[in-house]
Amino acid sequence: MMTQSDFKPLLKHGKIFVLDVRNQKDFDDGHIPWAKHIPLSQLGDRLHELPTNLPIIAVCGKGGGRSVEAVAMIPGADWLEGGTDAYFEQ
């Protein structure tokens, strides 16, 4: 798990790849800048779209369930504490 305080500087400097695994409506309602949207239901078929040269941080809403599932499919990936909801609360 990556904390919000560790996440924001890495995002600002382009040092991570943010993968948003929420559904289309939730993504359209607001997402972290530069996030790549791949719904969790499509992730298994779209793993080839992920970079190999940056750490991958999966995000979803507040609960974290979807991002934890996504991380299980991506070796070396991590998930964001509090998800997208916490990102916009700070």
Say how many C-beta atoms besides its own lie within 10 A of residue 42's C-beta.
Answer: 12
Predicted pLDDT of residue 41: 98
The whole-number average pLDDT for the span 63-88 is 95
CB 39 within 8 A of CB 66: no
Say how many C-beta atoms besides its own lie within 10 A of residue 61's C-beta: 18
Residue-wise pLDDT for 8-65, tens only, equals 999 999 999 999 999 999 999 999 999 999 999 999 999 999 999 999 999 999 889 9
Amino acid at 41: S
Q: Which residues contact 25 (CB under 8 A, 6 or more apart)?
A: none
